[in-house]
Amino acid sequence: MPPLRALVFDAYGTLFDVHSVAQLCEELWPGQGAALSRLWRAKQLEYTWLRSLMRRYEDFARITEAALLHACAALGLPIDEQRRRRLLGAYRELATFPEVRDALAALKASKIRLAILSNGSPAMLRPVVAHAGLGALIGTLISVDPRKIYKPAPTVYRLAVERLGVTRRDIGFVSSNCWDACGAKSFGFRTFWINRAGAPVDALGAAPDHVIAGLDELPDLLRARLS
Amino acid sequence: MPPLRALVFDAYGTLFDVHSVAQLCEELWPGQGAALSRLWRAKQLEYTWLRSLMRRYEDFARITEAALLHACAALGLPIDEQRRRRLLGAYRELATFPEVRDALAALKASKIRLAILSNGSPAMLRPVVAHAGLGALIGTLISVDPRKIYKPAPTVYRLAVERLGVTRRDIGFVSSNCWDACGAKSFGFRTFWINRAGAPVDALGAAPDHVIAGLDELPDLLRARLS
């Protein structure tokens, strides 16, 4: 296999643990933290897919807020202005998965270019990357926002090709969201699915090329298999 | 409001109870029936949205099967050929919601045209309509299949306009799936969301015009408000 020239990472769920908000959810509504965090995330993704198909794009910050309010209503959890602001603030300070920093540092040391390609709008993405202190490791932040459509629409993956100035075959795409890895594979990237939960692969007509259990496996895998 | 010339119904979840398969799921895997039925349905919808965005259409029968196999794998439920066939067979014999037949009969008596617009491929849709004995009440079955994309893509709702030969303003669209009612509203239909579960409305930029608790409310509503 030819070596890769760039690695492009999904952000939410891949580098940043979207369920790190469950702790604050639990503090605000004891006994409901995990359920709220799960439904919030599920609705967030659902709204990105539905609005993309309806051609009614709205940016990821607004979708994240709408999904939170819907999830609270569905679970019967009263949410006031202060709680809303605290929870959306927590989304700008998501925890980084424990192995991420060291793995990114090792990859950067190998001279491969690192970028993020995310559903997040720039104003939402920059603070979470800065809070995690990953700005020095990942030079390029690419948001779907200019295309006004969400993953896994092919035009979104094409943004990375254009921004990085390399061909799709030169790009390795890394996501913990299986459907995102499938979408990237369907577009033509070499894909790495981080399957932290041991889930079955999604049946979407394009399976990820590689399955790893954590980002820490990626530097060795690239050395062994791809260069 | 001007009177409607046609009523177009969603099928799965609206006329037919997709969770009527939970009984067979429960028989095959005691204690897991409700969880399997829920996950099967969630994955089925997710795959329609994702494949539509990826432009990798596959017909609804195959998506339904892939979603079943994924749900079983995710829940750790071993499924063999015989169980697979029984469950997919149950999907061709879904229960009709209890109020559906009388409501459709009342609507048909009012001389309004009745049609189904469904994600289901024709070969999947015809048997479930026949099994429910609704063929004589609903004259027109419209499948998204010729467009090779799923709801809520606008082109799918346009199919109903073309097949029925009326304008979008003449069509009332009825669905229990809130996102489907929102998609139809976004396209330009007058929409009726059957909210059997008392769920909050989805925030998709286009809300249903009317919310009813069951299909039995529709004949009176049309008489009172729309004609």
Average pLDDT for residues B110-117, to the nearest whole number? 95
Q: Which of B53, B154, B200 sits opposite A152 (nearest CB)?
A: B53
Give the CA diameter of chain A. Answer: 54
What is the reported pLDDT for A27?
96
Instruction: Quote the minimal CA–CA distance from B82 to chain A in Å.
Output: 21
Contact yes or no for A154 and B179 at CB 8 A = no
Q: How far apart are CA A39 and CA A49, in angstroms?
A: 15
- pLDDT digit string (tens) for chain A, length 227 residues: 678 999 999 999 999 999 999 999 999 999 999 999 999 999 999 999 999 999 999 999 999 999 999 999 999 999 999 999 999 999 999 999 999 999 999 999 998 999 999 999 999 999 999 999 999 999 899 999 999 999 999 999 999 999 999 999 999 999 999 999 999 999 999 999 999 999 999 999 999 999 999 999 999 999 886 44
**Residues A164 and A6: beta-carbon distance below 8 Å:** yes
Interface of chain A against chain B, CB under 8 Å? 46-47, 49-56, 58, 66-67, 69-70, 73-74, 149-154, 179, 182-183, 186, 199-200, 202-206
Chain A residues in contact with B57 by the CB 8 A cut-off are none
> Is this model's pTM higher than 0.90 or not?
yes
Q: How many CB atoms lie within 10 A of CB B198?
A: 8
Q: Which of B53, B66, B69 sits opposite A49 (nearest CB)?
A: B53
What is the reported pLDDT for B95?
97
Q: How far apart are CA B137 and CA A98, in angstroms?
A: 59
Nearest CA in chain A to B151: A53
What is the reported pLDDT for B139?
86
Please determine, for residue B225, whether its predicted confidence score (pLDDT) is greater than 80.
no
What is the reported pLDDT for B2?
74
Burial class of residue B39, CB neighbours in 10 A (0-12, 13-18, 19+)? buried
- Residues B183-207: tens digit of each pLDDT: 999 999 999 999 999 999 999 999 9
What is the reported pLDDT for A147?
98
What is the reported pLDDT for A53?
98
When pLDDT is cut at 50, 70 and 90, the band that residue B1 belongs to is low
In whole angstroms, what separates CA B65 from the centre of its chain?
A: 17
Of A1 and B45, which is predicted with more confidence?
B45
CA angle A68, A90, A65 (to 5 degrees): 25
Which string of b and e fits B1-31 if b means at least 16 CB within 10 Å? eeebbbbbbbbbbbbbbbbbbbebbbebbee
- Here the tokens at position A47 are 């709204």
- Here the tokens at position B105 are 């009969």
Closest CA to B152 of B54, B53, B75: B53
- Residues B12-33: tens digit of each pLDDT: 999 999 999 999 999 999 999 9
Average pLDDT, chain B: 96
- Residue B60, helix vs strand vs coil: helix
Q: Which of B154, B179, B200 sits opposite A55 (nearest CB)?
A: B154
What is the reported pLDDT for A1?
65
DSSP B21-54: GHHHHHHHSTT-HHHHHHHHHHHHHHHHHHHHHH
- Residue B227, helix vs strand vs coil: coil
When pLDDT is cut at 50, 70 and 90, the band that residue B215 belongs to is very high
ipTM: 0.96
Average pLDDT for residues B126-143, to the nearest whole number? 95
User: What is the dihedral sign for C-alpha A201, A226, A10, B178?
Assistant: negative
Q: How far apart are CA A17 and CA B112, in angstroms?
A: 52
Q: How far apart are CA B17 and CA B205, in angstroms?
A: 27
Contact yes or no for A204 and B51 at CB 8 A = yes
Percent residues over pLDDT 90 in chain B: 96
The backbone torsions φ and ψ at residue A50, rounded to the nearest 5 degrees and listed phi first, read: -65, -45
What is the reported pLDDT for A111?
87
User: What is the dihedral sign for C-alpha B179, B184, B185, B187?
Assistant: positive
Chain A residues in contact with B152 by the CB 8 A cut-off are 50, 53-54
Chain B residues in contact with A66 by the CB 8 A cut-off are 203
